[in-house]
Amino acid sequence: MNGKIISVFVAVMLCSIAITGCIETDTKESEPIYQTIVHNDPIYGVEYHNEPVYETEYHKDPIYSTVYTYELDDVGDGDSSYIVDNVYDLDYEYTGSDFWGYANYKVEIHYYNGMTKSVKTYYEINSFNQLGSTEIITGYDSWSEQVIIRYDTYSEDVITGYNTWSEIIIVGYT
């Protein structure tokens, strides 16, 4: 009886397994479905930068002019003499003769008083002579320019390329 019980039990188990489909009765095997996956992994590198830093530089260049020294003589009654420096222009006009018969001139002197232009007129001048010349600063030429005072240096990580690779994976079965 024990043998019958075991046989019945084994038969019941085999039937339940067959009903649930755990035992395949078909002998055909299923095949896997493959798919290729392509990967593009970035390759990083360091990029260095040197950017100039500018500053405005101001200049003030002197302007030189040639000026003259003149001696003006009035040989009349008081025998006066004038020395005038920094003359950049001289204009004269004949005005006739004085009491002693000397030629008289009206002399207009254009001169620099520091960096300021001035004019002075002398009357009854009998003679005028240039004594010499020199160079003086009569103004300034102001200008500016952008100059590089240093470089700001920094670096950053950048993508320099890609490492491409692929793999084949199973995505299912037929």
State pLDDT tens for residues 114-147.
Answer: 889 999 999 989 999 999 999 999 999 999 999 9
Q: What is the pLDDT of residue 136?
A: 95
**Three-state secondary structure call for residue 8:** helix
CA 129, CA 94: separation in Å to the nearest integer? 15
pLDDT interval class at 100 (50, 70, 90):
confident
Mean of pLDDT over the chain: 87
State pLDDT tens for residues 30-87.
Answer: 899 999 999 999 999 999 999 999 999 999 999 999 999 999 998 876 678 899 999 9
Q: Flag whether pLDDT at 21 surpasses 60.
A: no
20 vs 14, 23, 113, CA distance in Å? Answer: 10, 8, 123
> In this structure, are strands 80-97 and 32-74 parallel, antiparallel, or unpaired?
antiparallel
CA angle 109, 60, 141 (to 5 degrees): 50
